[in-house]
Structure 1
Amino acid sequence: MRRIIICDDNEADRKHIREVCEKYFASIYEQIEIKEFKSGQELLRQPMEATVIFLDIEMKKMTGIDVKNILGARANEVPIVFLTNYKEYMSRAFGKNVYGYMDKPADAQQIYKILTQILDEERDSERITVKKLDGDCLTIPTDRIYYIEGKRRYSIVYTAEGSYMMRKPLREWIEELPPDEWAQAQKSYLVNLREITGTHGEIQLRCGKIIPIGGIYRKEFFEKYDRYADKRWRFQ
């Protein structure tokens, strides 16, 4: 479950951000936990594992910029989106993990756009390490995998760089990879939904591979693909 942090000393502003986030993540079929804080001090006492921090700049005692600097000193890399009514702070609100700067009240479409950007970048950076048959380990970005073919206790991973056989059954891939981005098309095929270019009775992949959809997998496959397509394009 994703964790969203909102730190703002204005209750109405927190409520607005919370409602927009709830609507966004409900629309892409993801569950979230939202944690609200009224001050930077309160926020810094909590674990900083989160998808994003919506952070008010102008707060009493400790500003959002102070919080950003402390998090930076702790090597915390959670994306930060600043909220403020004061444009004069903008020049000091930049930083490695600052993904956006929004005037209050934050526009819902602007929040949708920045959340989509954060999730896309997070997804693009996901990597898995696998062990090939020769014993060598290989780290593969998941967005570079087209599809995976299962062969009993083994599997062949087809990527943009080539194909690799390894001692790992398909069921373990199904358990490991994000279920909202991968779907089983047949008993022996697991497909990266990002790589699909057409589904006219069979799956056409960007790499040119065509995979027929097995009858018992058809309903679940298209349910997953429809959710994925809706999630992918709703806020583009």
Structure 2
Amino acid sequence: MTCAIFDDEPLALELLADYCAQIPGLELKAQFDDALAGLAFLQENQIDIVFLDIHMPRLTGVQLAQLLPQPGPRIIFTTAYDQYAVRSYELNAADYLLKPIAFERFVLAVQKVRQQINSSIPVPGVGQAAPVVSPEVPATAPDAMFVKNEHRLQRVAFDDILYIEGMKEYLMIYTTAGKVLTLQSFRRTEEVLPPERFARIHKSYLVALSRIEHVERGKVQVAGRLLPIGDTYRESFAALIRAYQQL
């Protein structure tokens, strides 16, 4: 079997590459710290397994999985956060490995894919019936986050978020109910937000995809306000729009 590794952490890439080298019959073809470069590789090369980190810059692992051609490679998500387990199985992930990943658990995931391939189990497309969920998957996915606002923790529902603006070390969260100012980093916020529902479009802006009204000339309109699309995020955002069945 052939495989590729996607992770923006050098130590994680090194660890997984070492794990791959220890498994007979598993050949590591490529490794990427940039999801867009890896997506181009997967569109041109047939790979059996992709070890895919969820939190990567420009394009998240969940977003990349939605853009893969079908039938595609078996996906094994690798992440330090368990809140996306349900979503990973909706995307037909073969397995979901929580960091730090033990070698024994890695071997089990590879064996699961090997058995699927040997049994000629077809890989459904995104949105089709997913495989049986393992005991590691939580029963429900979170629908909100708590942020520090003045001297309290305030609940912010994902459905209510319009967009988020970075203001140095603070974030201003614009919601249907008003604005919430919090002392938080974009990095930490992106780790909590469902990556299939939100996209970073600029170093200072993150938007809810369902709240986008239109896209024009390098800008996105959300709640009547035009927000710029940064050069760093332009290509990944364009790929997301195409994935949303652009006509």
TM-score normalised according to structure 2 size:
0.45
**TM-score, scaled to structure 1:** 0.47
Question: Which one has the bigger helix percentage?
Answer: 1
Larger radius of gyration: 1
